[in-house]
Amino acid sequence: MVKGQRRYRYIRFQIKPLGKSPLPTEAEFLQELREQARHLAHSELRDLGCWLVRFQSTFGIIKCHYQATETLKILLSSLHTIKFSTVEITPERTSGTIRGVTYKA
């Protein structure tokens, strides 16, 4: 283990709209994730070391401190409604590098 450095994990997640719901925008997703973090984890996203690395219409990659990995997975899974969209968000893969979550070995 390297001392003095913060370790991070990258989580790739899938977004599936339910029914004919439109896909949420990046801003809507972040706003709902912030509210969910305050409600369930009783903390801010920045306290968990979270940073949205990539967000596209059906998937995204989020970076977090290694100790907050499980908390973030629970937060992502608990999001069901974003703005006017009903969605299902499933964490797919966790890795220490972006390349690890982007490419399947």
- Bridge partners (DSSP) listed for residue 48: none
Rounded mean pLDDT, 13-21: 92
Q: Report residue 51: phi and psi, to 5°.
A: -150, 125
* Domains observed in the chain: 8-102 (3.30.70.3250)
The pLDDT value recorded for residue 42 is 87
User: What's the pLDDT tens digit per position in 30-41?
Assistant: 999 999 999 988
The pLDDT value recorded for residue 4 is 56
User: What's the pLDDT tens digit per position in 66-84?
Assistant: 999 999 999 999 999 998 8
Check whether 63 has a pLDDT greater than 70: yes
| Nearest residue to 98 (alpha-carbon basis) of 67, 63, 74 | 63
Task: Return the SS3 of 82.
Answer: strand
As a whole-number percent, the residues of the chain with pLDDT over 70 amount to 93
Check whether 22 has a pLDDT greater than 70: yes
Check whether 13 has a pLDDT greater than 90: yes
Predicted confidence band of residue 97 (pLDDT cuts 50, 70, 90): very high
The pLDDT value recorded for residue 78 is 93
Provide the token pair at 6.
Answer: 């913060």
